[in-house]
Amino acid sequence: MFTGIIETLGIIKDLKKDNSNVTITVSSSITHELKIDQSVAHNGVCLTVIAINNGEYKVTAIKETIEKTNLADWKVGDMLNLERAMKLGDRLDGHIVQGHVDQTGICKSIEEANGSWYFTFEYDSNLNNITIEKGSITVNGVSLTVVNSKKNEFSVAIIPYTFEHTNFKNIKIGTTINLEFDVVGKYVARLYSLRQ
């Protein structure tokens, strides 16, 4: 379980394909604090640490994860938003995030707003995921509040701190991003669909 509050950034140092899996080597400022078998969210994708060596660690993504996320687009040198699993007793500063990406989306527009930014993302609404105005959404692992919710798109307002301390500064129009919709909203939508 995560909060969507990004702890630090990591850099992809190596990607190795192994049958339908991919092993990713990441360098980060928190590597020395990690343990093998620990869960870490990478752009919102929960992956398990399998090895640690000289300031770098490795995680493996399986075919299911690769197909539902933007992981197939990752390359050496890419910057990743990192968050370790939350500890019991900590404040829940973002929202409840599972680290299970529901689908990807595409950045449709970026509007500068006198010191902040509005990013608009489009997604496939046929997958039955929804947003609501002022609801929670996770974009590349970042817990955000939805503005301008529509059937297949939404916007988020990004403050300078978030822009500088996450990989939002690298998102351009056309960039594919990972989306995790609000878990409570997903349960409500599912229950509603069962009643019809």
* Mean pLDDT of the region 158-163: 94
Partners of 143 in the beta sheet? 138
pTM check: above 0.85: yes
Given a cut of 80, whether residue 89 has pLDDT beyond it is no
Give the model's pLDDT for residue 143.
93
The rounded mean pLDDT for the chain is 92
Longest Cα–Cα distance of the chain, Å, equals: 55
pLDDT at 136 over 70: yes
Cα 114 to the center of its chain, rounded Å: 26
Enumerate domains of the chain plus CATH numbers.
Answer: 8-84 (2.40.30.20), 103-195 (2.40.30.20)
Closest CA to 96 of 79, 109, 83, 107: 83
pLDDT tier, 191 (very low <50, low <70, confident <90, very high otherwise): confident
Among 33, 32, 62, CA closest to 47 = 62
CA–CA gap between residue 165 and residue 187 (Å, rounded): 31
pLDDT > 90: percent of the chain: 75
Contact partners, residue 7, CB within 8 Å, separation at least 6: 30, 82, 83, 84
> Residue 92 above 70 pLDDT?
no
